[in-house]
Structures are given as structure tokens and as C-alpha cells.
Copies of this chain bind each other. A is one copy, B any other.
Amino acid sequence: MFNRILVANRGEIALRVIRACRELGVEVVAVYSRADRDAAYLNLANDAVCIGAEAPAHSYLNAAAILSAAEITNVEAIHPGYGFLSENPTFAQMCRDCRIEFIGPSSDAMRKLGNKVEAKLLAKAARVPLVPGSDGVVADEDEAVAVAERIGYPVMIKASAGGGGRGMRTAHNEVSLRTNFRNARVEAENAFKDGSLYIEKLVERPRHVEVQLLGDRKGNLIHLFERDCSLQRRHQKLVEESPSPHIDRKTRDRLCTAAVRLAKAAGYYSAGTCEFIVDHENNFYFMEINARIQVEHPVTELVTGVDLVKWQIRIAAGESLSLKQTDVAHSGAAIECRINAESPDDGFRPCPGPVHDFIMPGGPGVRVDTHAHAGCTVSPYYDSMVAKLLVHRPTRADALVAMRRALGEFVIGPIRTTIPLHQTIFEHADFVRGDVDTGFIEREIMPGSRGASSGG
């Protein structure tokens, strides 16, 4: 096992890694930007090094500063957390070139899975379903129509050079496909100076279901069941839970084994997540593999009792995964709410600032992961998550009740948070029934807010 590691991150995930290190008896070095110099969790590290100015580019994304901090503090490994440098294969390789272990998968696996085209080829080779489509650029309208007829309407027209929703059009029949294809091509040429388009089947009201994976460097790799993260706003997850209320046992088994197959094909080790979209007929399609620990990992920790962060560290130190697939049982239902310092009534405007009031929920079945406390300040420089509130109860119905209770107890002020939004979600009949999709928040909870916030 390592004697000393460095956490190249901030906020709750830095604290999460510090907690794991303290329990493992591994010394831990924290790094911080000038904005985070008063962060309370730094007191829990064995050492803390200021690595740069407030802006992420100068500190938490500053690979040279982090490696310098690692050198002057003599650590043997770096835990990247999530975000920042966590999925950067170049940084992983830089660490390893400095003989400092990067706590994550191999740089090669990161590189392969970070490339959408390569990842899809891997999935195809591993017989993991992909969203049906043109399998590359379509030459013209007629080819587009032929593809659409093969895969069935509705379809999406996507610009090869596009991304993040830009340059996308839907078509529900041949007429609209032909019109939209022409328009999309002009738009793509103007926007990206590249008019190439491809066609994909439109998955309507998709659910987001992901599978937690854990593997060692000797090829042992298991899944720790799924998390359902369908409750999103603009691709930002708001609520995550396990088990998924959407899929049946057979789909779950197929999903989990598909994820394991794909990860093994990629030579994956450490913790990782395989993301799928699932339609209403329980058809699932591979989206991507996130080659890092995820924000919502505690959901899986609660239902399986497995400490994922400790395992990441052990595996990076060369230990074998002593857990076999049959050792991992799923127990009860766990739900996580991401509490953000945002004003849902005001286009989700971030609300950083000093926190005077902070009363954390407690009692049976509640877990809170947060770096915040009364007297802290939510910094405007970084993401707005102030706490992850989780409950774990024998059934989903019990978990809903416990989450409502816990949300009612949580006091954070005077900054605005998403707690009232979560309270609305947990009273909504569709969510209570477990019947939501990734468009639910915009469609059901915030109608009208789309326009209001589109300028932000």
C-alpha cells in the first residue's frame, strides 16, 4: 500500500478521498487554490499545498503545479477525483512518467474510451448495442432517407463537427427529413465549416442508466449494479438512485454484463462507469464509459457496502480485487440529491457566497457528503454543488419518505440552493412512480424556464 498520496481536487471529492486515506492509514496531501485556502477539509490532510490562483486553469487544471506539489511532498500516487484532470490521459501519463502512480485506469484505456469513435468501435466489437444509425457520414438526402427507413423514424440528423446538442435536428418522416437535412447541412457549413452529417435513431424519452464497474490490473473486473440518473437538467444530473425503477431484472442483468464485457475489452481497471440510454421497451444503447470515480458513487456504496474510493487506491497500489461478482449483493434502495448553490426560480443562476446557516440532516438512513459548513463560503470559481444528500432504506418507498424528511431538515442559508426543487421533485407523482426520463425536469418541473434561462 502507498504511504502517502496527493488529492488533485477540491471540495467534497477531495474530502471523500481524504476520508478514504485516513481509514486506510495512508497519509494524504491536499492541494488548494488561493480561493480555497480557508477550506476546513484541508485541516484533515497531513499536508496542504497552495498550487495557484483562483481560476481552475491556474490551479486544479495546472498539471505542472500539481506534479511539483507531488514532488515536494514526496507522494507515491495522485488521486484525481472527478472533473479537472481526472479523465486526461496526458496527465495520467505525466504522473506515471514521474514515477507517481495515477489512481485510475491505464492511460491507454483512458485514451481509447475518451475517443467517441474508438469507444463505439470497442462497444461494437464487444456486442454492446449502439444507437442504430448511418454508421458514419451520409452522402446526401437519398442516403439519409434510406438509412431512416432501415432504422425507423423518428431520427436525428447530427453534424459530424457538432457537439453538445449544436447542429442537431429531428425528423419524424421523409418530408421533414429531406427539409431538415438540407437546412442542417447549410447550418453546419456555416457554423463549423464542415457540412458532413450523419443519421441516428431518435430515442424518445430516454432514461439514463449507468453501471458501476470495478477492476484490478490482473484482469478481474466486476460490476456493482446500476444507477439510474434520468433526472437531469441540461445534462446535469440532479437525482441518482439504485436500483433503477425503470428496468426489469432481466434488462438489468443484460445491462450489467454488457458493461463488464465492454470494459474487459478495453483492458479497463480501477473504478469506472458505463453509461447507457434505455428506451421504454427496455432496449439499451451504449453512450460512453466515464473513466473515473463519479459524483454519484455513494449511491452504489450504500446498496453494496463496497467502499469504491478505497478500492481505487488499493488497486492503484497493485492489490488484487478480492471481491468476486458473487460477493456483491444489492441491498435496499439508495437515492442521492445533489444540492447546488443555484436558484431554480431564476434560471438556475449560481448563488455563491458566505454560508451562515447550515443545519445538516441526520438520523436513520441518512448520509451526507459535503465540504460545506456554517461559516464557509461557496466560491464563485468552481461548480456550485454544496452537498450530496443520500438516503438508504429497505425499499424505494421508504427511501422517498426518508429523503423528504431529510430535505425538510436541511437548512442552508442565506445562499439559495436547489433544496426546494428537490422537494418538488420528490412530491411529483411521476417521479414517485419511477416514471421519468432525461427531459422530465424541463418538461414537468420547470415549464417555461427553458426560455427564461436560455440567455444564461
A residues in contact (CB < 8 Å) with B: 15-16, 19, 22-23, 25, 40, 44, 298, 301, 305, 307, 356-360, 362-364, 366-370, 373-375, 394, 401-402, 404-405, 408-409, 411
- Contact in complex: B405, A364 (CB < 8 Å): no
Q: Determine the chain B residues whose CB is within 8 A of the CB of A366 once the complex forms.
A: 367
Which 10 residue pairs of A and B lie closest in terms of their CB atoms, listed nearest first?
Answer: A374-B374, A359-B373, A362-B368, A22-B405, A19-B363, A23-B401, A23-B405, A360-B360, A362-B369, A363-B369
Q: Determine the chain B residues whose CB is within 8 A of the CB of A44 once the complex forms.
A: 408-409
A200 to chain B, nearest CB (A): 40
Q: Determine the chain B residues whose CB is within 8 A of the CB of A16 once the complex forms.
A: 363
Q: Give Cα distance in the complex from A19 to B393, angstroms.
A: 14
Q: Which residue of B lies closest to A405 (CB)?
A: B22
Q: Determine the chain B residues whose CB is within 8 A of the CB of A15 once the complex forms.
A: 363
Which of A357, A362, A374 has the most CB atoms of chain B within a 10 A radius of its CB? Answer: A362
Q: Determine the chain B residues whose CB is within 8 A of the CB of A22 once the complex forms.
A: 404-405, 408
Q: Give Cα distance in the complex from A357 to B19, angstroms.
A: 20
Q: Determine the chain B residues whose CB is within 8 A of the CB of A408 once the complex forms.
A: 22, 44
Q: Give Cα distance in the complex from A11 to B19, angstroms.
A: 29
- Contact in complex: A362, B358 (CB < 8 Å): no
Q: How many copies does the complex hold?
A: 2
- Contact in complex: A370, B364 (CB < 8 Å): no
Listed A/B pairs (9) with beta-carbon separation below 8 Å: A19-B363, A19-B364, A22-B405, A23-B401, A305-B394, A356-B375, A362-B367, A373-B374, A374-B374
Q: Give Cα distance in the complex from A434 to B201, angstroms.
A: 62
Q: Give Cα distance in the complex from A411 to B363, angstroms.
A: 19
Q: Give Cα distance in the complex from A402 to B307, angstroms.
A: 12
- Contact in complex: B364, A402 (CB < 8 Å): no
Q: Which residue of B lies closest to A372 (CB)?
A: B359
Q: Give Cα distance in the complex from A378 to B173, angstroms.
A: 69
Q: A23-B401, A409-B44 are in contact. Are A367 and B373 (CB under 8 A)?
A: no
Q: Which residue of B lies closest to A357 (CB)?
A: B375
Q: Which residue of B lies closest to A358 (CB)?
A: B374
Q: Give Cα distance in the complex from A251 to B356, angstroms.
A: 51
- Contact in complex: A367, B374 (CB < 8 Å): no
A310 to chain B, nearest CB (A): 9
Q: Give Cα distance in the complex from A402 to B15, angstroms.
A: 14
Q: Determine the chain B residues whose CB is within 8 A of the CB of A409 once the complex forms.
A: 19, 44
Q: Determine the chain B residues whose CB is within 8 A of the CB of A360 once the complex forms.
A: 360, 362, 368, 373
Q: A23-B401, A408-B22 are in contact. Are A301 and B364 (CB under 8 A)?
A: yes
Q: Which residue of B lies closest to A359 (CB)?
A: B373
Which of A16, A356, A360, A369 has the most CB atoms of chain B within a 10 A radius of its CB? Answer: A360
